[in-house]
Structure 1
Amino acid sequence: MELRDVRGLTDAVRSAGVDVVPYEITHVAPGTHLGIPSSTVTLIVDLCDGLDLTGPGLPRRTTFTCGIGELHREAFTVHHDGTQIGVQLDLTPGAVRRLFGVPVGELPSMLELDRIDAGFTRRLRDAVGEVPHPARRRAAFDVLVDQMSGRLAGPVGADPDAVRTWRQILRTHGTVTVSQLVEQSGWSARRLTGVFTAEFGMGPKQAARLVRFDTARRRLESGRSPGDVAADLGFADQAHLTREFTAFTGLPPTRFLRVRASEFAAE
């Protein structure tokens, strides 16, 4: 029997835009894998020797114990020695505001989370590090509940026009045009771009590209053909999809899928 019922708050944390994925990868060949751009912010709690990264905004190969960064438009390379153990938290921009009181647009490419909130970082790392792998998801949720219980009213401080624009981009899977967003907002393109960039670290056009790419990637990984994905998401043709995919990952779609399938080969 639980000492307290957190199901309601846990559901609220999920609805606020947080997903928690513990991982435990062992006995694979040392190598690299791609940290792919997406429409969520990735927070990694590493429980080994640190998350070893190269990529945008990092002057050199850098190790993080509990790393978080902006919404990325370029892939990172994760270097590993055959073992990776930790917890990945996927946070919407609104969840970043609720958890830490800052907009995604103020985050650098990558930094240690304790520079934003040392107390939360310590509680989260201790909680997931003190329990076995099957219990880490719940342990992380408990810490999130405590952090967010008084902040679930909404993304306090965010410009409402920026938030509405972001939600519209998500609803349309990034297929909405900037002119449509401007018309729906009732503001000038300059004003909307300004408040949106301050909140999300990129303009509406770049955000729509990111969300459309993210949607395309997920559909390709589910088995859809590049031609069908290109048609569904309003790309001019399959070649256009390939160019966008290469811009975000460094790889065309078919090669990307092959690389992803072979990233964690048995030792």
Structure 2
Amino acid sequence: MELRNVRGLTGVDITPYDISGGSPGRHLGLPSATATLIIDLADGLVLGTENRSGTDTYRCVLAGMHLRPVTIHHDGSQVGVQVSFSPTAVRTVFGVPAGELMHDATELSQLDAPFARRLHERLAQARRQDRAAVCAAALTDIAADDSPVGDAFAAWDYLARRRGKATIADLVEQSGWSARHLTTLFTAEFGVGPKQAARLMRFDAARAALAAGTPAVDVAIGCGYADQSHMSREFTDLTGHPPRALQKLRAAEFA
């Protein structure tokens, strides 16, 4: 379920999931140009990251954009709801810049304990088929009436509409600011500069196209990579795996 223009709330995608019967293992949480909220309705979501030893367990975890994958440890079953937020939606719902969440995972109760408790209780009580609607209603209840505005958000929207296929020169032309000033504004709000944001957007688009069955050579061209080898290097740098190996790994995660 995608929310569009509900009390100014855009850029939110809600995905309930209910996976069972698999073998215990690990699942990669991949880099993305979105922040992610996961409400776990089982025994807690167990996460491991490269910059921490060991794992942490969360009930409602809000993770910012990241440039390296996180590892989700599971026992073969997972039940919950995943919500993806654009940086604009992060501001609208949680009232903080996306940059404050960058490279980190936070228990939602640390930001808003009453909302975290209310959200988890509503979803735990909801029927499986109603969870997306229940989650959407809870988010719109706390969303600000207006979307944030400013040159940083305009630059992000410009990049997002082009799925990362834009240059700093393009952004400078659109904004009227110098490259240095625009990059400073952009990084302060989102935690990454325009080049890294565009990189994540291209990766998101390429991964979706490959999953849909588009040939790799066509994906590379369509998503703005110099060639297929360039795309492969980017996938390996962001995930540790080239495209084909990543697809096989993802397909086997809950086998």
Flag whether TM exceeds 0.5 (same fold).
Answer: yes
Please give the residue correspondences for 1:72-221 in structure 2 after superposition, counting only pairs within 5 Å. 72-108=66-102, 109-148=104-143, 151-155=144-148, 160-221=150-211
1:223 alignment counterpart:
213
2:239 alignment counterpart:
249
1:264 alignment counterpart:
254
**Hey, what's the Cα distance between the residues in 1 that align with 2:115 and 2:30?**
26
Q: Which moved more, 1:53-62 or 1:31-40?
A: 53-62
- Code of the residue aligned with 1:166 in structure 2: it is W
1:3 alignment counterpart:
none
Give the number of aligned pairs. 252
Contact 1:39-1:92 at 8 Å conserved across structures: yes
Contact 1:37-1:72 at 8 Å conserved across structures: yes
Contact 1:20-1:137 at 8 Å conserved across structures: yes
Contact 1:57-1:110 at 8 Å conserved across structures: no
TM-score between the two structures when normalised by the length of structure 1: 0.90
Secondary structure in 1 aligned to 2:6? helix
TM-score between the two structures when normalised by the length of structure 2: 0.94
Deviation at 1:145, TM superposition (A): 2.3
Secondary structure in 1 aligned to 2:166? coil
Root mean square deviation, CA, Å: 1.7
- Code of the residue aligned with 1:231 in structure 2: it is I
Deviation at 1:16, TM superposition (A): 1.5
Check 1:259–1:13 CA distance in 2 against 1; reply closer, same or farther (3 A cut): farther
**Hey, what's the Cα distance between the residues in 2 that align with 1:10 and 1:145?**
11
Q: Tell me, which stretches of 5 or more residues in structure 1 are unaligned?
A: 1-8
Identity %: 47
Contact 2:45-2:59 at 8 Å conserved across structures: yes
- Code of the residue aligned with 2:80 in structure 1: it is G
Runs (4+) of structure 1 moved beyond 2 Å?
56-60
Could you list the per-position Cα deviations for residues 222-250 of structure 1 after superposition, in whole angstroms to 9, with x for gaps in the alignment? 00111111111221111100000111111
